[in-house]
């Protein structure tokens, strides 16, 4: 039976949520404050968490940060249910990794629809990971360049260079590029601005990446990558394990490591040796 943990300090609200969910066939567990909620989530590993924001002990944002920072609970869908409607407050919760943000005046049908949607998405993610098995010979995986399918159409519509982008020619000792002016191209993580990707530079490249939500798990056979998180909070999935990341987090990713980034995050990626679009393998 699908288990839902309700973290809510208002007893009446907590009981209403419990009754609604039980009538729909869900198993429910309850916590009356944030600290108890954290402990119950770690103990029970529920399928979904409904959490208030304003609570004694630890507020909802602190609960979310604690659970997303624990690999055992980081993947549990987390939905805020609150009377607050401030956009900055909502943005803070989403940046921390909340899956949804519902008002306490939400209609029952909308509440149940949101719960079922998050559970369905989590189930699809588990199924996808369950089907994944890295072959003994990575060559058995079909290489998919970043410009296939939808991406190829997108890239075809992009200008070769931005209107004011004039790259400095590579000299024997240095090169300079305005990274923020380079036109973005699709990549497994979202959109990437790539500097120094030229035939005469085999050493390294640097990419400024805006990650989208639905990133693709992939790996490289030759490239080592260094990520530096600039903006946003989320998680880095490395060989199936989720690790929380925040601004100034740095990640070294060696060849063969299956990886993707989760969350709306801006980061710098430095591939060594220089980026090769043929060395992207999807799983």
Q: What is the CATH number of the domain that holds 187?
A: 2.60.120.10
Which pLDDT does position 106 carry in this prediction?
A: 82
Report the distance separating Cα 30 and Cα 9, nearest Å: 10
Report the distance separating Cα 216 and Cα 181, nearest Å: 25
Q: Are residues 277 and 157 in the same domain?
A: yes
Which pLDDT does position 137 carry in this prediction?
A: 39
Instruction: Specify the pTM.
Output: 0.48
What is residue 17's three-state secondary structure?
helix
Report the distance separating Cα 188 and Cα 211, nearest Å: 9
**Full pLDDT tens readout for the chain, 283 residues:** 899 999 999 999 999 999 999 999 999 999 999 999 999 999 999 999 999 988 887 888 899 888 888 878 888 999 988 776 666 666 666 666 778 888 878 888 889 998 998 898 878 766 654 544 444 433 333 333 433 343 334 334 444 444 444 445 556 688 888 888 888 888 888 889 999 888 778 899 999 999 876 688 899 999 999 999 999 988 899 988 889 999 999 999 999 999 999 888 999 999 999 998 888 888 7
For the chain, how many structural domains are there in total?
2
Which pLDDT does position 56 carry in this prediction?
A: 81
Half-sphere exposure of 222 (CA within 13 A, CB side): 13
Neighbours of 215 (CB within 10 A): 20
Q: How many helices (H) and strands (E) does the chain have?
A: 6, 16
Structure tokens at 48: 């979904």
Q: Are residues 98 and 164 in the same domain?
A: no
> How does DSSP classify residue 143?
B
Select from 102, 131, 160 the last residue of a domain. Answer: 131
- Domain limits at 125? 3-131
Which pLDDT does position 95 carry in this prediction?
A: 65
The helix (H) or strand (E) run that includes residue 151 is helix 150-156
The helix (H) or strand (E) run that includes residue 11 is helix 11-23
Q: Are residues 160 and 239 in the same domain?
A: yes
Q: Are residues 101 and 191 in the same domain?
A: no
Q: Are residues 142 and 127 in the same domain?
A: no
Select from 131, 157, 175 the last residue of a domain. Answer: 131
- Which residues are bridge partners to 148 per DSSP? none
Q: Are residues 145 and 259 in the same domain?
A: yes
Report the distance separating Cα 67 and Cα 71, nearest Å: 8
Q: Are residues 127 and 146 in the same domain?
A: no
Q: Are residues 153 and 274 in the same domain?
A: yes
Q: What is the CATH number of the domain that holds 72?
A: 3.40.50.2300
Select from 98, 131, 164 the last residue of a domain. Answer: 131
Q: Residues 122, 48: contact at Cβ < 8 Å?
A: yes
Q: Are residues 122 and 151 in the same domain?
A: no
Q: Residues 3, 44: contact at Cβ < 8 Å?
A: yes
Q: Are residues 16 and 118 in the same domain?
A: yes
Report the distance separating Cα 117 and Cα 124, nearest Å: 11
Q: Reading across the β-sheet that carries 190-195, which strands appear in turn?
A: 185-187, 190-195, 206-211, 266-272, 224-231, 250-253
Q: Are residues 98 and 166 in the same domain?
A: no
Q: Residues 182, 244: contact at Cβ < 8 Å?
A: no
Report the distance separating Cα 249 and Cα 262, nearest Å: 14
The helix (H) or strand (E) run that includes residue 153 is helix 150-156
> For the stretch 233-258, what's the b/e string if a residue is b when 16 or more beta carbons lie within 10 angstroms of its beta carbon?
bbbbbbeeebebbbeebebebeeeeb
């Amino acid at each position: 039976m699908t288990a839902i943990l309700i973290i809510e300090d208002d007893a009446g609200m907590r009981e209403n949520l419990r009754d609604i969910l039980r009538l729909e066939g869900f198993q429910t567990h309850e916590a009356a404050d944030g600290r108890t909620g954290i402990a119950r989530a770690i103990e029970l590993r529920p399928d979904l968490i409904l959490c208030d924001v304003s609570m004694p002990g630890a507020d909802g944002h602190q609960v979310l940060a604690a659970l997303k920072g624990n690999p055992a609970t980081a993947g549990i869908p987390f939905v805020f249910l609150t009377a607050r409607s401030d956009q900055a407050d909502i943005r803070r919760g989403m940046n921390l990794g909340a899956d949804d943000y519902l008002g306490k005046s939400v209609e029952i049908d909308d509440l149940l629809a949101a719960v079922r949607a998050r559970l369905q998405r989590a189930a699809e993610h588990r199924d996808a990971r369950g089907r994944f098995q890295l072959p003994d010979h990575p060559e058995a995986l079909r290489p998919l360049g970043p410009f296939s399918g939808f991406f190829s159409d997108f890239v075809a519509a992009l200008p070769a260079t931005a209107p004011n982008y004039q790259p400095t020619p590579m000299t024997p000792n240095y090169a300079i590029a305005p990274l923020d002016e380079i036109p973005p191209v699709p990549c497994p993580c979202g959109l990437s601005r790539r500097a120094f990707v030229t035939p005469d530079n085999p050493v390294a490249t640097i990419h400024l990446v805006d990650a989208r939500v639905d990133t693709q798990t992939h790996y490289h056979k030759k490239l080592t990558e260094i990520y530096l998180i600039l903006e946003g909070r989320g998680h880095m999935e490395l060989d199936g394990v989720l690790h929380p990341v925040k601004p100034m987090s740095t990640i070294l990713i060696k060849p063969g490591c299956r990886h993707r980034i989760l969350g709306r995050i801006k980061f710098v990626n430095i591939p060594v040796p220089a980026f090769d679009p043929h060395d992207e393998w999807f799983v």
